Structure 1
Amino acid sequence: MKTRQVTIFNGERFEVPQCIQRIDHQSTHGWQVRYNGTKLFSDHSQDGSGAAVALAAAVKALQARIAKAPAPSRLQRRPSGTKTSGLPVGISGPVVRQRAGSRVRDCSFAVSLPCYGSPPRGRSVYIGTENTYTPEKYHAALAKAVALRGEAEAAYQRAATRARRAGSKALVKDGVEGA
């Protein structure tokens, strides 16, 4: 998990993991966990002397939240407002093309399959040629495209959660816990 150096108002420096923010206002001093909701861990002091204890508690709470909740997904959930086809996110088409050496055009759906940690892959789902195209084939191909996209999104979510949890466990090994 990524960490950063944070210097608080009294000059103390801390190695702080992502998803934890420092809050220093008039009468509020502490660390706020921002993962699956928010929670403030107060220093219980005006001079910042309790910051290390509060950060240790915040890191522990962050690790508990990461262990229980899935990682937040960065995948787009709804089609953009400019998409006019009415197809779900990640599916476009039907794409009509004529391949070299063929006398008949064919059509298919283009499906974007997200992959955690790497660029999305593209996949084509065949519908039919201009001679064999039917509404039934269109709906069957669309169902297959939606299923492919759904499987890829689920795999993406599992990989993101696995990576987030592995990063959380690394906090203890790197000595961030208890800062």
Structure 2
Amino acid sequence: MKYRELVIFSGESFLVPQGVQRIDTGATHGWQVRYQGSKLFSDHSRDGSGARAAFDQATRELMRRIAALPAPVALQRAPSAHKTSELPPGISGPIIRTRSGTGTRSAVLSVLLPRYGAPSRRTSVHIASESSYSPERFEAALARAQALRAEAEHAYVQAATQARRRAGLAMRQVLRDR
């Protein structure tokens, strides 16, 4: 997990983890947790004397959220505005391919499978050959493609959550040692 050194207006220094922000305005002084929603922990003082206690509360809340909630991921949930088909995000097609040697043409759907910490993988789902193509075969292939994409998204979220929780445990140790 990323950290940054922050010195607040009172001169006190903090090692602040990603997901916690300092709010210092004319009306408010405190720490805001930003992880699957936000919550402010006020210093309850104008001179910054309550900053350490508020910071400790904010980091405990961040740890609680990391342990209990799935990691926020940036997977595309809706089709791009410029996409001309009605297919869900991560699925393109039908794509017509010609087999070398035989010249047989077939239709496939291309599916983008996200992988956490690695480049995404593309796979193809066969619809039918030119002579056997039908709307029913297209719908069956689309259902297979959506199932593959959903499985990959689930694995992505699981891996991202596990990585975030490991980072949270390491962050807890760094903050203890400080």
Name the TM tier (shorter chain): over 0.9
> Matches of residues 26-175 of structure 1 in structure 2 within 5 Å?
26-174=26-174
Question: Do the aligned residues in 2 keep the contact of 1:35 with 1:65 (CA within 8 Å)?
Answer: yes
* Structure 2 counterpart of 1:21, one-letter code: Q
Report how many residues are paired: 178
RMSD after superposition: 1.5
Deviation at 1:68, TM superposition (A): 1.3
Unaligned runs of 5+ residues in structure 2 are: none
Deviations 1:121-176 (A, max 9, x none): 000001121122222211111110000000001111111111111111111211x2
| Higher RCO structure (Cα 8 Å, ≥6 apart) | 1
* Structure 2 counterpart of 1:165, one-letter code: R
Query: TM-score, structure 2 length as denominator?
Result: 0.94
* Structure 1 counterpart of 2:16, one-letter code: V
* Structure 2 counterpart of 1:69, one-letter code: L
* Identity, % of aligned positions: 55
Deviations 1:1-57 (A, max 9, x none): 211111211222211011100000113111011112211111222221221221111
Question: Do the aligned residues in 2 keep the contact of 1:92 with 1:111 (CA within 8 Å)?
Answer: yes
Unaligned runs of 5+ residues in structure 1 are: none
Query: TM-score, structure 1 length as denominator?
Result: 0.94
Deviation at 1:80, TM superposition (A): 0.9
Q: Partners of 1:50 and 1:119 in 2: how far apart?
A: 45
